A and B are shown apart, each in its own frame.
Chain A
Amino acid sequence: MSEVPLDGAMDASAQQLGKALDRARMGEDRDLAARVREAGERFVRQLFGCLRMVRLHDLENAAFERPLTEVCQSLGELNELLGAVHLVVVEGQAYVNDVRVRLDERQDTGPALGRELARHDLGGLSFHEVPDLAGMRVFIAAFASEPDPDRPRLALRDKLRAGGMDRLDLVGAFRFRVTGEENTVRGAKDEERSRDRAATLVDASVDSLGQDRMPNPLPLRRAVTELLEGSGGTEALTDEPAHSTPYSRHVLRVSVLALLIGRELGLSDEALQDLGVSAMFHDVGYAAREGAVSAAPGRAAEPGYAPPFERHAAAGARLLLRQRGFHESKILRALATLHHTWRFDDPRGRPSLFGRILHVCEGYEALVQLSPERVSPPRALASLQAEAGGRYDPICVQALINALGLYPPGTQLRLSDGRVVEAFAVPKRPEDWAAPVCRVLRGADGRRESSGQVVDLSIDPAEIVAVLEPRARGGAGAG
């Protein structure tokens, strides 16, 4: 050991550990954790009990009334706390919405439940709403039935749908992923899945926070980790993830841009992760509802209105601060969300770093995507640069310029040989900064190319002769 602690250092070490534990305790939401644990444990036991019981008794037997009612109640309790309830069993361990459920291992409940699920080629269940007694009966009956030997999961789904249980998702088997394992993200297809997952998580977080639930950053943190481990999700700048909404696509693009800036600034992995999660949440204020009208007796309350642009950042911070327990990441997120619309030279004080980064990303995104007067990515970068030092943090702007290259993904270019191409990747090396990798949109003869032909301008002899502005896109590169 290179450092030799003296007696005093050992004393300091003890104090350091004590403080770390104090901090960790501050981050706890004991109440919520206890309730999820308790209800989750009960739910899993009751569900497992029902699945075993159905082998001994007919489902119509009155003896089933009580256990079914109880499992519905436990599920209802979880739904109240968490919204959708995701039960996953992996390697004999059960998780409810990522929280591990303590089960009595002597009774083998976890592995046995895993085996029950595996009969139908399942690893998880997702309850989007709490079924009534009849629905739960349908579920148990379908589960207890003999699995289809060829397509067990789909057959089970059909049975459930036939019984009216269409608010229940069946998910395939899970496995633990090991740090540094090969093919953690397995190629383009998996990157696409990661982006898809991230986009739907963004929408899910809006759903959840919009219904006054607590923020749950852990799934988004995992999504960010996936993006970081892959190519950084830069394809999201040009491709649209499946099942995404315009909002989630915007958030995902901003997140990718923010991570690009963060990497360019040399932020640590930990900081990048926090930055990515902050970006995923940055516009969540639009999920808030302001000005709700109190319910008159016997009438439902008016739902209220989403905050306007001017107040959405503050509204987002308010939503994020609902998360109980102190954590550095929570502070960084809330600050980023609150400050992401502030100018660099804001009279209220300089915004936080994440806020400044997100402000630059939003500016770029507004110019390239949102504005009716959309401009090409290079022009967007030039506009940001023109306002660096006042509206935007100059270092963050330059970091974005460095990371995206002179022709950022989405830039359409006319080449000297007549081809029209679109940049789709960020430069991997500094020397490629002005020589993007592109897809061919039109051949030299002006015909549309749909073969997905790729041209690397760092080696291709053709030169860039023009950047096509978006309003000319309608002419498919004819501008």
Chain B
Amino acid sequence: MTESTDELNEGLGAMPEVGGRAEPPEDRQERALGQTEAGRAANAALRALARSARSFLVYDAHNEAIKAFLADYRATVEAAVAYGPMALEVRPFEMLRGEEVVYIERDRDRSLAFRLFRDGVRRLTLRPGVPWSELLRLLEILSIRYTGVRQYEDDTVTLLWKAGFTGVEIVAVEGFVLADDDDEEEGEGGGEAGANLRRAGPRVEVPNDWDRPVLPHAPGDPRALRRRGFKPAALEALREEVSSRSIARLTVRLCRDMIELVRDPTDPTGLSDVSGLIDEVRVLLLADGQLAGLLELVEAIAALAEVEPEAAARELQRFGDLNAWRRLLASFDRHEGSLPAELFGLAERLGGDPLPQWLELLPVIQSRGGKEALRELIGWRLRRSGAGITEAALGASDEVAAELLRLTCAARPAQGPGLALALVERDHAELQAQIREVLSKMPTELLHRVSPLRWLKSPDRATRVVALSRMERAVEKGDFDALVVFVEALPSKAQAQAVAAGQAMARIDAGRAAERLAGWVRPKQLWDRVKGAAVEGVEVWAGVAGLALIDGEYAESTIRWIQAKAEPELAAHCERALAGRPKAEQQGPLAEGPASYHAGLFSHAGQLSLSRQMLRFLPEGGRWKGAKDLEMPVFKIRSSVLREADGGTLQLDLDGQLHRFTGPGAAPVGQALARLLRPGGAA
């Protein structure tokens, strides 16, 4: 008998936490009963059974509460059968152990007794030593009823019958039969009415020649007939063929054979006859994680494309939809080690780009194994193709984007920075942390393919600081000015960003930076200096940090000037900045040597030297015309050419011969300058 059981889902609200564990509210109704120890133990066991069976209404199988209920169920049953067989008489609303009522619940929707009784169970006996597997199966059958699943193929009694219990004894009604005293019809012509009861309405006749013509058989000799036994292994193999363990294989076989019929032009079987089956089998295989079967089925459907390409494509699409992947990945709950090759084969065979669906599933799949499998799949997809990653990320949530960025960096390192930059404006801590990771590891050259200032769009201060700290040179024309604007717009507490920005300014344009940074630290206007307004601004922090990277006495004196006036915090910053400046020996020239400077009609002998920041020429005697031009910030030098001059000496031409040096010092300085000006060669 089957039953409509929607009502089973009614009346169960959220389960409150009771004593640290969630318990169904109806426990309030299932009273603790029993006058004897055995009775009380039976009561506890039955309440635990009812609670466990109901628990699937509200909890996912992965939920910890389910495990707690199961453990309770097992323990209480074990305790109850310790008093001997727990033989229960099932009545509509109560259960008795002997004469003692051990369970009572008047609410039909909640009552274990009512459900058992209504499903035809009249006696239930649990014997001592009942295996856990049988208790579990009993619970499974009851849970199916509690969760409102209707079964047309099996009713509860059939399920109990199939279970083949050894430690659980069930006395149940097996459907209804005509009562014994059905003599009235007997006297009136026997069972014709019964036959009519079953065969009614319009009749369909099979053709007269069914199963004919009979194909000829080889004659045999009856004298050769013998009774023979079978090898147990052979019988076991046959039994295995129709066991539940073989069902996945059988379902795929059926699908394959039916699809062959669809492909057969002489057979009227169409895809519509088979698509329902394929759908059911697909769900089964996905839920059971039967990858080999899925792959075989997909191959069979793909072969269908020869006759019904559009329909085959439609069918295949369903194997790779969101729901399909969700079911499949859920089956990887206990995944360990590497994923089976069939999984990748399946993804490959299905075609299309599964990435958007996989990303959608990232927050949905809860089990650890499933999530790990999903990450592996995404990584596999990213390694295979870099297409569509940014689009997918932009369409994804922040959490998913962060995960995708991480996986992309691992699978396709070259695409990580681009993706990180595309996501930089998202205000999400985990994502920003991932972006900082990318930024900090990104090769300088890669970082400077676009202006590093683009990273300043990040809403995250820490990310901006990292971006600034990695900035070595200007990439776009307005980068320096953009930095100035950035610093001036910083709030007063943003010292870290100011420091990083100031340093970046010094690195990308030391000459302009020297002036701008000094201006922030020590305003030119006396009034500004007197009032000390600048001292309070965050720009000062930028100025000090940047000046610390710039050569020259002026930079250092400026820092010392502000240090003397600063509050302790800023003073400490100055102290650190000064301490970080290269020592005199570290500031020594990269190259130097005697040289003559030629400017127009003038020519002066002197010493030519190059440091990381400055090209200097010190004329002999110390005074000469145009001396101010001969302390040239390296950043201002646009080009340098070392060529052979008259008399065999080398000649260093800077910026189109505006400045020319000859003599022994020209060569080493010119070569060092060339290295310094080379992209990425700056100190």
Contact = CB atoms under 8 A, between A and B. Distances in A.
Interface in A116-165: 121, 123-124, 126, 128-129, 151-154
Interface stretch (A53-61, A305-313, A437-445): A305-313
A311 B177 contact: no
Contacts of B283: 26, 326
A107 B536 CA distance: 86
Nearest to A37: B4
A1 B130 contact: yes
Given A21-B144, A330-B153, A352 B253 contact: yes
A242 B4 contact: no
B61 to A, nearest CB: 2
Contacts of A100: 1-4, 118
A25 B219 contact: no
B136 interface: yes
A323 B280 CA distance: 11
Nearest to A79: B201
Contacts of A173: 178-179, 181-182
Interface string A357-373: 00000110111001110
Contact of A129 (B71, B201, B261, B333): B201
Interface in B214-264: 214-215, 217-222, 224-228, 230, 234-235, 238-239, 241-244, 247, 250-251, 253-254, 257-258, 260-261
Interface stretch (A5-13, A230-238, A471-479): A5-13
Contacts of A45: none
Interface in A25-49: 25-30, 32-34, 36-37, 41
B174 A225 contact: yes
Contacts of B3: 99-100, 102
A247 B206 contact: yes
A174 B178 contact: yes
Contacts of A222: 174-175
B170 interface: yes
A10 to B, nearest CB: 5
Interface in A296-340: 306-307, 309, 311-312, 314-315, 317-318, 321-332, 334-335, 338-339
A179 B131 contact: no
Nearest to B135: A1
B280 A325 contact: yes
Contacts of B258: 317, 321, 338
A67 interface: no
Contacts of A399: 230
Contact of A200 (B4, B198, B205): B198
Given A265-B239, A317-B258, A326 B132 contact: no
A345 interface: no
A171 B74 contact: no
Interface residues of B, number: 131
Interface string B137-167: 0011001100101111111011001101000
Contact of B182 (A36, A172, A200, A311): A172
B206 A196 contact: no
Given A15-B333, A26-B283, A312-B210, A207 B199 contact: yes
Q: Which of B63, B204, B239, B268 has the most CB of A within 10 A?
A: B204
Contact of B250 (A16, A210, A271, A335): A335
Contact of B136 (A17, A90, A171): A17
Nearest to A170: B193
Contacts of A275: 242
Interface stretch (A211-219, A416-424, A446-454, A455-463): A211-219
B619 to A, nearest CB: 86
B62 A171 contact: no
Given A33-B150, A154-B188, A221-B158, A206 B206 contact: yes
A412 interface: no
A36 B269 CA distance: 29
Nearest to B120: A176
B172 interface: yes
Interface string B113-138: 00000101010000001111101100
Interface stretch (B271-279, B298-306, B579-587, B652-660): B271-279
A268 B240 CA distance: 11
A175 interface: yes
Interface string A379-407: 10111111100010001001101100010
B4 A33 contact: yes
Nearest to B77: A1
Interface in B37-76: 56, 60-63, 66-67, 70-71, 74
A259 to B, nearest CB: 14
B238 A398 contact: no
Q: Which of B4, B171, B181 has the most CB of A within 10 A?
A: B4
B200 A126 contact: yes
A246 to B, nearest CB: 9
A13 B61 CA distance: 9
Contact of B257 (A4, A28, A219, A348): A348
A321 B277 contact: yes
Nearest to B192: A243
B155 A218 contact: yes
A403 to B, nearest CB: 10
B145 to A, nearest CB: 9
A24 interface: yes
A191 interface: no
Given A129-B201, A221-B158, A267-B242, A378 B225 contact: yes
Contacts of B224: 382, 385
Contacts of A312: 210-211
B204 A28 contact: no
Contact of A381 (B120, B122, B151, B225): B225
Given A1-B131, A193-B191, A348-B260, A171 B178 contact: yes
Interface in B300-352: 333-334
B248 to A, nearest CB: 10
Contact of B190 (A203, A209, A242, A376): A242
A17 B242 contact: no
Contacts of A348: 257, 260
Contacts of A28: 149-152
B173 A314 contact: no
Interface in B408-437: none
Contacts of B276: 321-322, 324
Given A218-B155, A335-B254, A367-B217, A20 B200 contact: no
B442 to A, nearest CB: 43
Contact of A362 (B177, B199, B211): B211
B197 interface: yes
B149 A367 contact: no
Contact of A383 (B143, B206, B217, B241): B217
A32 B129 CA distance: 42
Contact of B171 (A26, A179, A401): A179
A108 interface: no
Q: Which of B162, B218, B222, B247 has the most CB of A within 10 A?
A: B222
B566 interface: no
Given A203-B199, A242-B191, A353 B238 contact: yes
A177 interface: yes
B207 interface: yes
A22 B287 contact: yes
Given A172-B179, A334-B254, A5 B267 contact: no
Interface string B581-620: 0000000000000000000000000000000000000000
A225 B162 CA distance: 12
Q: Which of A174, A270, A323, A324 has the most CB of B within 10 A?
A: A270
20 contacts: A14-B61, A14-B62, A14-B70, A20-B143, A21-B56, A24-B151, A100-B1, A100-B4, A207-B199, A207-B201, A222-B174, A247-B206, A266-B239, A267-B242, A268-B164, A269-B161, A312-B211, A327-B154, A332-B250, A383-B218
Given A219-B198, A338-B257, 12 more contacts: A15-B334, A28-B149, A84-B200, A99-B2, A169-B197, A172-B182, A175-B179, A290-B268, A321-B274, A329-B154, A387-B217, A406-B227
